[in-house]
Structure 1
Amino acid sequence: MRYRTVPIDGLDIFYREAGDPSAPTLVLLHGFPTSSVAYQELMATLSDEFHLIAPDYPGFGHSSAPDADAWEYTFDHLADLVDRLLDAIGVTRYAIYVHDYGAPVGFRLALRHPERVTGIVSQNGNAYEEGLTAFWEPFKTAWTDPSQANTDALLGYYTREATHWQYTHGVRDTTLVNPDKAALDQAVLDRPGSHAIQLALFLDYATNPPQYPRWQEYLRTHQPPLLAVWGRHDEIFGPDGALAFTRDAKNAHVQLLDAGHFALETRGAQIAALVRDFLRRLPD
């Protein structure tokens, strides 16, 4: 594993890299509130056969975190930075692994460069209205009316308790969940200015559901190989979001696991085996 930082548009963008660069590449795109550290173990497991790249978005992990009033925290902008990073390091053909926020970033990349994307692994990375659970109701209220009261209602999602819940809900045996990652995520969330950064992205998430039809059209038109490997007990993006992929991707394979939102934390070996088999079947 190598830990690298590249300057992109005046920001330092951190990424993890493992495996032989001449091997088929998988780009792993993380969700909230974590970073590329979510993929550390998966990358180590797959690095014997594949080339793996996992960036930290601005405001996350080890990448620069400019103030929210100085940098536009939108999903379009996150996709821009990842796109430029991949160009800067010469990665022009790759599969994507998307989780949570990684889905809107990854599908934006796929729309821009359908010829580059060899396949998609979605691990609780949503692209359908069916996947949006009741969890999103306070967010929808704030999207419609971003008043102080409605945005203040979202502050609870930055707490230690909320981060712990994201890792443990839907998990039958929580002793399997290593607390180190949640602690690291929380340390980043607690940095000065982080709440404003995350609120900007919470509000900009409103731009994603209206794009679902475009992402679905991309699947119908380009038919990328797709593996949806999903924690069936996820209360953020429900399993109906995984099953919906079969409507548009003819060869989609859906595997619902006995896990929650962070399925890698408790089903890492199973997911690694599924992803390895999937990547082996992709076109060169």
Structure 2
Amino acid sequence: MEYTITLPENFKTCDIKTLLEKEWLVPRKVRHFLRMRKNIQVNGETKMFHELVYPLDQLTLTFEDSDYQLPTIQLGKAKLITPLYEDEHFIIVNKPYGMKTHPNQPDETNTLLNHLAAYLAPKKQNPYVVHRLDKETSGAILFAKNPFILPILGRLLEQKEIKRTYQAIVKGSFSSSQLTIEKKIGRHRQDRRKRVVDERHGQVAITHVTVMEQLAHTSHVECQLDTGRTHQIRVHLASLGHPVLGDPLYHPQPSQGADRLMLHAKSLELIHPFTQQRIYVEAQPLLW
């Protein structure tokens, strides 16, 4: 694997070691191999780890197949993939509702990851999961296309630098147009499929809700997450008496007014870690 990256104009000068370790999060073992094999070039010349790199420098990193463990994924159907954005490092696709993000068993072939593996196979690339969407949720989802960028995208997600906006249609009306739900979420003791608000043993979970429109018996809301707990939006809204329509786990009458879970990952936005370009995608069709 060989990757050539041009450092952006606003890059802060540093040595190659710092760039690889602190900015690009290259694992220690892989950094060692890059240094020993002299597999780093800057503007076409082999460079050492202590040497400085500057804005607009062009870095070429060459990895051996043994540097990273490549995943084994059963191939699905490439035609089921709808790309929203793609470059050599990552891809954002539009996930249909009712499709799992990734397999739980080695022989599964009908998940989004399987179909994406088939889509990328002709390019000799592999998909890597950055974050997940529930099976019943549709919309924009991000995958890495190589193990080099995977930890970088993971850090952006952890530091809330990847902005994800969700649409939901929920039961009832709200007394205010904006609210923040801060309730810890833990596992349900009897039903392993479900999560519950658990202030004592749960994990911190924060959801920001904006009410877009209120109808007679339902509301259209947009949500943004500070954390990414399983079923977070569904659990948080249900805890306030506003379950998502069509929710088979958290709505007492899930089929009332909906033939699917009315939760959709509307958009995804981030600053590209290598080019510093703003990437924004919107997953159609929207819920309203």
* Superposition TM-score tier, normalisation by shorter sequence: under 0.3
Query: Which of structures 1 and 2 has the larger relative contact order (alpha carbons within 8 angstroms, sep 6+)?
Result: 1
**TM-score, normalising length: structure 1:** 0.26
TM-score, structure 2 as length reference: 0.26
> Which structure features the higher share of helix residues?
1
Larger strand proportion, structure 1 or 2? Answer: 2
